[in-house]
Amino acid sequence: MNRRQFLRRTSVLTCGLMLGSVSRGADSSFPVVRTPEDKRRFKSRAVERTIETIRARIGNKELAWMFENCFPNTLDTTVDFQVVDGRPDTYLVTGDIDAMWLRDSAAQVWPYLPLMKNDSNLQQLVAGVINRQIRCILKDPYANGFYKDDSKVSRWKSDLTDMKPGVHERKWELDSLCYPIRLAYHYWKASNDRAPLDATWRQAILLTLQTFREQQRKTGPGPYRFQRRTEVPGDTLAGGGYGPPA
């Protein structure tokens, strides 16, 4: 079951709960929507213990059921973890598209940071996200979504911008570069592990700073432009692809 199906099935219950119109007894049963254990992409003892603790403490059985299904969903369904050249590497599918967004992937693992101290495998998973994000930034700091396969060509290859293989979409977004910094900093604060914050990470951060300065556009339009042949409002930039002057 993908996220869209899960949300569709639970949206009615959620709305009713928010309005106070749904009332179920302690013996009520709820549909099993979580991915079966043998098909889960990544397993964390700390996450499972947290689910058990929260489920026992929440008086509302429906809220407990929702938490049990939502909290581990990233690990159950989106994670592709491996070790590459001796370093953890985590590719996260974000949404219904087989691509990894810098902002979204940072947000997806954010709730697990406090649990890393009790689960070394979970810590390696998050370190892998940082390593993968740095790899993406070094490929193209103006792109917002990337493929795991560096040779894969995007369906948006005809966008009027400097598209590269391995890039899903090249929409410049300030937060795409801010979220990896936020994740790396709080990973370090939570784990005291500096391994991902190496010379390669520093290189990517310097490139991020360079990109920020370019997009201040004090001396010209900068190197980035983006246009898409589309009728969707806001899906292309005015001004020849450079956007408004300020």
Domain end residue (candidates: 77, 103, 137):
77
Last residue of a domain, one of 77, 98, 128: 77
Please state, in angstroms and as integers, the Cα–Cα distance from residue 53 to each residue in 59, 65, 123, 189, 210, following that order. 12, 12, 20, 24, 45
DSSP 8-state class, residue 203: H
Domain with residue 115: its CATH number is: 1.50.10.10
What's the whole-number mean pLDDT along residues 83-108? 94
Q: Could you give the angle at which helices 61-70 and 45-57 cross, rounded to 10 degrees? A: 170
Q: Which of 77, 111, 141 represents a domain boundary (last residue)?
A: 77
Q: Which residues contact 174 (CB under 8 A, 6 or more apart)?
A: 212, 215
**149 lies in which domain range?**
79-246
pLDDT for residue 24 is more than 90? no
Percent of the chain with pLDDT over 90: 75
Number of domains, the chain: 2
Residue 28: pLDDT band (50, 70, 90) is low
- 48 shares its domain with 27: yes
pLDDT of the residue at 199: 97
